[in-house]
Amino acid sequence: LGVAVSGTTAYVASDSTGVQVLELADCLFTCLPEEIGFVIPKGSPKAIEVSGAIGYVANIGNNALLVLDLSDTAAPAVIGSVEIPTFAGGGLAYSGSTVYVTTGFPSPGLQAIDASDPANPQLLGFAPTNFTPEGLTISGSVAYVADGLDGVTLMDISDPNTPTILSTVDTPFSPLGVA
């Protein structure tokens, strides 16, 4: 389950219900958000990020990154996709027009994707990890990857064609997310 919020709108990616669009405008302390739109893509959405009127969805059901047009929140639509060569994980983040997705079996790691043309995203570089990474966040040119038993792996993503491991920070348990 992934959630992204933009203004007063929440986007929820769920492998059982697709991508839901919820209006939060009148929710100060207690209320039930109103569903105002949804899209049910082929596969199982696991994570979502939103940049303006574009949504990026890591879809584990068909190992793909989906690109959504969110300009009409009542009718979001898939406008592009790219197949990821390995199982798409739950980590998803973007920096500029580059989207990063964690991957799992059989090749765990971090996949960079050029999304400058939302209708035609293209695979860029890949950096392997030792375990199946889940969470992912980006700060500047560094990706922080929750990498299972390895802890948190820091990757240099200054060149998305060749992401590389900088270091690994051991954690007492297997992290599932980073922020």
| Residues 126 and 109: beta-carbon distance below 8 Å | yes
pTM reported for the whole predicted model: 0.90
Number of H helices, E strands in the chain: 0, 16
Rounded Cα distance between 149 and 94, Å, is 24
- % pLDDT > 70, the chain: 96
Contacts of 154 (CB under 8 A, 6+ apart): 142, 143, 144, 145, 165, 166, 167, 168, 169
Q: Is the pLDDT of residue 30 over 70?
A: no
Amino acid in the structure at residue 84: I
- pLDDT of res. 33: 77
Rounded Cα distance between 102 and 91, Å, is 5
Q: Is the pLDDT of residue 16 over 80?
A: no
User: Which neighbouring-strand residues pair with 81?
Assistant: 66
SS3 115: coil
- pLDDT of res. 27: 65
Contacts of 171 (CB under 8 A, 6+ apart): 151, 152
pLDDT band at 138 (very low <50, low <70, confident <90, very high): very high
Rounded Cα distance between 52 and 117, Å, is 15
Contacts of 10 (CB under 8 A, 6+ apart): 3, 4, 21, 22, 24, 33
Higher pLDDT, 46 or 160: 160
| Residues 101 and 109: beta-carbon distance below 8 Å | no
Q: Is the pLDDT of residue 28 over 70?
A: no
